[in-house]
């Protein structure tokens, strides 16, 4: 029983180190970053990136070898603040299977609107599948392209 409690506390402490990064591309938006890619570059495994709603379209972003949670306000936010986070497109990929600690497996994307296609595990024939992704409350205007032998998507 003591080992189970120690394991639970260790996992809780690991999750407590996760950082939330904020992104807003509107002038005087008040966030830490103005592009999603800048926030992704600053993030480490397990971090959350919150993308504010904006009247401007966000540039495309790429997640490579990092498990992140990327959240926007949703495809149908509250009417008193109906600004959505519209993104040009996105790529989520794993570049190298030989480093198991550097993986995009388990990445979550929530509440974004994508004008262009979202590609998962699509960059080169050397990519390995991204597994166990969760995509929630998103709108896909350009479609979603899941390639290779990807599995366990919600």
Q: Read off the pTM.
A: 0.81
Sheet holding 48-51, edge to edge: 20-23, 48-51, 69-71, 108-110, 134-136
pLDDT tens digits, one per residue of 22-64? 999 988 888 999 999 999 999 999 999 999 999 999 999 999 8
Give 48: exposed, middle or buried? Use CB within 10 Å, 0-12, 13-18, 19+.
Answer: middle
What tokens were used for 81? 């603040």
The CB-side HSE value for 154 (13 A sphere, CA atoms) comes to: 10
């Amino acid at each position: 029983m003591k080992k189970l409690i120690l394991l639970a506390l260790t996992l809780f402490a690991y999750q407590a180190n996760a950082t939330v990064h904020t992104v807003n591309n509107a002038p005087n938006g008040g966030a830490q970053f103005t592009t999603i890619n800048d926030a992704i570059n600053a993030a480490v495994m397990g971090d959350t990136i919150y993308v504010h709603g904006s009247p401007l379209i966000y540039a495309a972003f790429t997640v490579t070898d990092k498990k992140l949670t990327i959240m926007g306000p949703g495809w149908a936010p509250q009417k008193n603040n109906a600004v959505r986070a519209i993104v040009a497109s996105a790529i989520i990929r794993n570049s190298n299977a030989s480093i198991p600690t550097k993986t995009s497996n388990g990445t979550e994307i929530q509440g974004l609107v994508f004008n262009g296609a979202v590609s998962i595990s699509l960059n080169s024939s050397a990519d390995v599948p991204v597994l166990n992704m969760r995509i929630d409350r998103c709108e896909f205007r350009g479609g979603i392209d899941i390639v290779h032998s990807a599995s366990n998507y919600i």
